[in-house]
Structure 1
Amino acid sequence: MRGLHRVGVCHLLAQLAEGQLFIGNSLPARLMNMLGTHRQMPLRVLANRGASGIDGLIATAYGVSCTCSAPTTIVLGDTSALHDLNSLALLKQAAQPLVVVILNNDGGSIFHMLPVPKEGELLERYYRQPHGLNFEYAAKMFGLGYAAPSSLEAFAAAYTQALESGVMLIEVNVPHQQVADDLKALGAAIRGASREL
């Protein structure tokens, strides 16, 4: 797995995040759970659950940021971000650094890994629902800093800078099928390594 990918970004965030980490539902929660790592500095981790788990994530993360004097990071998918886009207006009021990491794979890519109908256009039209949007202009509209790194190194640099510079939206653009492919490759590598033990 080379270049920029959701698996690598989530693994990096598990290491680099400071203060509080608010994790969005769907794939981000699953990836962060799989890719968490031992840390020297403790990290407060929060998430929403419930039947409408993707609604209001940005607003909730802003509320969480008001309870702490440390930085807050929210990592969420593009569909979740679109469901709560207007809450970006709240973030200019943040008293501490607040970093929004949007994992944009143009729709609900989790459905590539769930038992849903995949014949014809059923997966694309009714489950994944691609939108073709990015978040650069949303960041500008709400007066937020913006970065769209194209490598893990660039992501780490942008994220580290964002922790010190107030409020920033970092958009991670990846192909919609990539996370499923990455997880299959990771599983194969783990199985191969376990056979060699």
Structure 2
Amino acid sequence: MESYQEIRILPNLEFDTELLMAALFAKLHRALGQHAAGKIGVSFPHYARKPGDVIRLHSTAAALNAFSQTSWLKGLNDYVDISEIRNVPAGAKHCCFSRVQVKSSAERLRRRSVKKGWLSEAEALERIPDSKSQTTALPFIKVKSLSTGEAFRLFIRRGALQVDPAGGEFGAYGLSAVATVPWF
């Protein structure tokens, strides 16, 4: 992970940053799955209550260059600014950006259990109380599943800072619970 490239969402009067980030992340997800499976990690330099308006792609210079040649940003070029591929600054720390799946609604869990045939409606009401609902304040990006067409929130957690990098594979969202990316 010696190189990175930043993609910044430009201010726009027609579309808000969250909508453009969702569109950018959807294109990135598809492109990572097709062209760079496991090789490119992402980070969000303005990560706070929201992911922010910048995505950093991390990998080798060769992998980032090959990825940029795929024209995966077609249709969003007017809404983003893409930096040159740069070297990671010396002394950068490292951290993981991972997906967190929250089992948010007890009612949804009950419906799913009944639909899958795991429980009857009465059993679901008894075994899955409202207290099973979970919430999180983690930043998220709204995405739409390519397989089911359903919209959902992809919650993102930034892990603790580490001095040394940890290797591993990145998923089709560019996230990993074990592999780190430079943080600076």
Scaled by the length of structure 2, the TM-score of the pair is 0.27
Structure with bigger helix share is 1
Larger radius of gyration between Structure 1 and Structure 2: 2
Higher relative contact order (CA 8 A, sep 6+): 2
Structure with bigger strand share is 2
Scaled by the length of structure 1, the TM-score of the pair is 0.26
